[in-house]
Amino acid sequence: MGFALFRRPPDPPHLDVNHAGKRFRVALKRRATARRITLRVSSATGEVVLTLPPRTDLDTARRFADAHGGWIATRVAKVPRRVRFAHGAVIPFRGVNHRIVHWSSIRGLTAATLDPQGEPVIAVTGEPAHVERRVREFLEREARRDLAEAVLRYTAGLGVPARRLTVRDTKSRWGSCSAKGCLSFSWRLILAPPSVLDYLAAHEVAHLKEMNHSHRFWRMVHNLCPHTEEAERWLKRHGTELHRFG
């Protein structure tokens, strides 16, 4: 007589935790290397994630999440309010606050310019429903251009080529360098002061020669980019805020 193997039903993608009249969605993730239940709230996006060891049952996970409802509420409340790319919104662009202005429904180029009063604006044209998308595309395009110029300058200085450059909306890191020499950056660096974007370009280009964070690597970065420490300080203080926008 055979015995059927026990299979745990698949986990739901999330749990709902209720606290003080508010409902919080908690994403569930199992990790093979996890030894205990952990709970975190992303300071960038406000996402709540409950990580479980492979054998932890779902009821235990629910009890754990419910018991930490107050902690979740407190952490979520500290996440900066998001700012959509909408007409009238103020967002940083190369470190300077710009107001998004929908100027015309006639299709044209999105551009950073000055309004009649001399205030910085990002002027958007086309249908009002497409303002958010067009601002995002503009920022990505400008980020790619600035990063390409900085990467070219630093690779020329080191005498090493980058095989490819991509711009994405990464959450956990501002840039990366693959073993094949492909560089990837967050488009949100265009929101920061130019010196910060410039530093990240130097950092990742240095990885083309040193795929580590050794003393030799950091010496190379400082030689390439004298304002490394200033940019690092800015990212530690303000980097999380860049995820508020869009």
pLDDT tens-digit map of 36-87 = 999 999 877 789 999 999 999 999 999 999 999 999 999 998 887 889 999 9
Helix axes 215-224, 131-158, angle to 10 degrees: 110
State residue 139's pLDDT score. 98
pTM: 0.78
Domain extent listing, the chain: 14-78, 133-244
State residue 4's pLDDT score. 52
CATH of domain 133-244: 3.30.2010.10
State residue 5's pLDDT score. 55
pLDDT beneath 70: ranges in the chain: 1-8
State residue 87's pLDDT score. 96
